[in-house]
Structure 1
Amino acid sequence: MADFKPDFAWLLKRPLCFLAFGFGSGLAPFAPGTFGTLAALPLAFVLILLGIDGLLLAFLCIVLFMWGIRICAYAERETGVSDHGGIVWDEIVAMLFVLAFVPFRWTWWLAAFVLFRLFDALKPSPVGWFDKNLHGGLGIMADDMAAAVMTLIVLRIAMLF
């Protein structure tokens, strides 16, 4: 974890960092990526209730991904730390992307959460390649989207049975 430890007041003074730190979920004292991923679940729930699901949610995630490149790069500059552990916008967007393509049932959401966290934490290829070879905002965002795609591949295969 990084030496720089922002607090909620610091985030409130920097709205883009507030987003990058997942509305504060990235301030968790341990496993901020897990807390960021958890933050995506109620957000997805609300979006789906508002009728933003499936391909519309996936399209929104593409927009949020592109925006996330800039948000995460900004947060890196503000913290002075490369890929600060508290930057969890990438987890939120990637998890929303996964949830756009799985059934709206707790069992599928739980499976999506567990698989995504495993792929994000263990960083198997190609996730690890993106993590090691891309830097800045794009690097922060890309490895999580790769983990999301791997999660979706496993879940879509599971849906066949």
Structure 2
Amino acid sequence: MNQNNSFDSLMTSLATLGPVGHLPKMPGTWGSLVAAGLAPFVFIPFSLGIKLVILALLFFAGAWACKAAEQTFQRKDPSQAVIDEVLGQWTVFLFITSASVFTLALGFILFRIFDILKPFPIRHSETWLPDGYSVMLDDLLAGIYALITLMLLLKLVGQPFLPGLL
């Protein structure tokens, strides 16, 4: 295998989160579940600034990985590519400072709802950018919708998130 094929293989593996994107039925849900499960350990504990850097790096690395996955699977936005779910799911938890099971479950459910329904302009965003960037963008927007909804719901039930917001 030449060096370029090795890199493409590595990027495709990143896009699919290894075996996660190959799980039968609903790979996006599995990707979101893995992201929500990892969030309390590798995302939520960080400061807001570090979280924003993580999301930016994830957006760009994920776009490259999704482009490789599109070439590997010979179709636009292949269902096996689930790195975009990590970006969207972690966006939901951007302002969360304490990861209760309630908050994680609610954030997971809200993201899946917005990712599946794709309200305006999420569905349209799938064509705004080239290559894997459009794959990442629609999940980022779904994550933002879910983030706003989660913050409002947590405010209603008195759950903590980043001090000073709402």
- Secondary structure class of the residue paired with 2:24: coil
Match of 2:22 among 20, 27, 46: 27
Match of 2:92 among 81, 92, 98: 98
1:88 is matched with which residue? 82
- Secondary structure class of the residue paired with 1:30: coil
In terms of fraction of residues, the more helix-rich structure is: 1
How far apart, in 2, do the equivalents of 1:23 and 1:95 lie? 18
Q: How many residues align?
A: 149
1:41 is matched with which residue? 36
**Do structure 1's residue 118 and structure 2's residue 104 form an aligned pair?**
no
Match of 2:122 among 121, 124, 127: 127
How far apart, in 2, do the equivalents of 1:141 and 1:62 lie? 11
How far apart, in 1, do the equivalents of 2:138 and 2:34 lie? 19
Tell me, yes or no, if the aligned pair for 2:92 and 2:143 is still in contact at 8 Å.
yes
Structure 1 residues 78 and 94 mapped into 2: Cα distance closer, same or farther (>3 Å)?
Answer: same
Q: State TM-score, norm by structure 1.
A: 0.83
Tell me, yes or no, if the aligned pair for 2:90 and 2:143 is still in contact at 8 Å.
no
How far apart, in 2, do the equivalents of 1:85 and 1:63 lie? 22
How far apart, in 1, do the equivalents of 2:118 and 2:43 lie? 29
Larger radius of gyration: 2
Structure 1 segments unaligned to the other structure (5+ residues)? 1-10
CA drift of 1:21 comes to 0.3
Two-structure CA RMSD over aligned residues (Å): 2.1
2:162 is matched with which residue? none
4+ aligned runs moved over 4 Å, structure 1: 132-135
Structure 2 segments unaligned to the other structure (5+ residues)? 1-5, 157-166
One-letter amino acid of the structure 2 residue matched with residue 148 of structure 1: G
Structure 1 residues 48 and 142 mapped into 2: Cα distance closer, same or farther (>3 Å)?
Answer: closer
2:103 is matched with which residue? 108
Tell me, yes or no, if the aligned pair for 1:55 and 1:100 is still in contact at 8 Å.
no
Identical positions, percent: 29
